[in-house]
Amino acid sequence: MTESIKRQKTKQAIEDAMVRLLAEQPFDQITTVKLAEIAGISRSSFYTHYKDKYDMIDHYQSNLFGNLEDIFEKYANNRQQVLLEIFKYLQFEPLLAALLSENGTKEIQNFLRNKLLILLKSDFQNHSTNHPLNETDLEYYGVYLANALFGVCQKWIANGKKESPQEITEFLFPLTNAVREVFSKKLKNA
């Protein structure tokens, strides 16, 4: 086995161990010792790859943020497709799903919530040119909907991702339209 393949297998074992541990306890309570134990490696092997669990997550995040940015940029004008692509990504990225769960890291959760907020605010502005929201209303609209979407995402993960990405997107998309409609009516009545 080449050194590169061995390194990749060890890193994958560490990621898998993190997923297993996040299913049981919050990120802040996970120790490097426990990660190494669950991964079936020595602590020195863990430290060959990462300084600590935060360094591990930083490495993972740097790649992850780029991939999520690509999704948001590629489908910037199609929020339904953005939602679908995020759920597809979550379906096949167990570590990301674990990090977005209740036990996960706030940094990744806030990143995704913020990207959703930007997308939703932009989408609303693009579809309500006749009655633009003031900045305060737009912020509340975006925060409300971004948190609602993120909450459903967390529930979907907690329930074992039973629905397909397509099914969960088809459930959520009409809800986002309904909220946008409520805010649009507010503007017309103002």
Q: What's at 85, amino acid-wise?
A: E
**Torsion angle of alpha carbons 175, 144, 57, 73, nearest 10°?**
60
pLDDT digits (tens, 9 = 90+) for 87-136: 999 999 999 999 999 899 888 899 889 988 888 888 777 766 566 667 88
Residue 49: what pLDDT?
A: 93
pLDDT score for 125: 75
User: Going from the N-terminus, what domains does the chain have, and what CATH number goes with each?
Assistant: 1-50 (1.10.10.60), 55-189 (no CATH)
Please list, in sequence order, all residues whose beta carbon lies within 8 angstroms of the beta carbon of residue 172, skipping any fewer than 6 positions away. Answer: 83, 149, 152
Residue 116 or 46, more confident: 46
Q: pLDDT digit string (tens) for 136-182? A: 888 888 898 899 999 999 999 999 999 999 999 999 988 888 887 77
Query: How high is the pLDDT of residue 134?
Result: 78
Q: Which residues contact 27 (CB under 8 A, 6 or more apart)?
A: 53, 57, 99, 103, 104, 105
Mean pLDDT, the chain, integer: 88
Q: What is the DSSP letter of 131?
A: S
Structure tokens at 23: 């299913």
For residues 76-94, average pLDDT: 90
Query: What per-residue confidence (pLDDT) applies to 124?
Result: 77
- Length of the chain in terms of residues written: 190
- The pLDDT tens digits of the residues spanning 31-44 come to 999 999 999 999 99
pLDDT score, position 32: 95
Rounded to two decimals, the pTM is 0.81
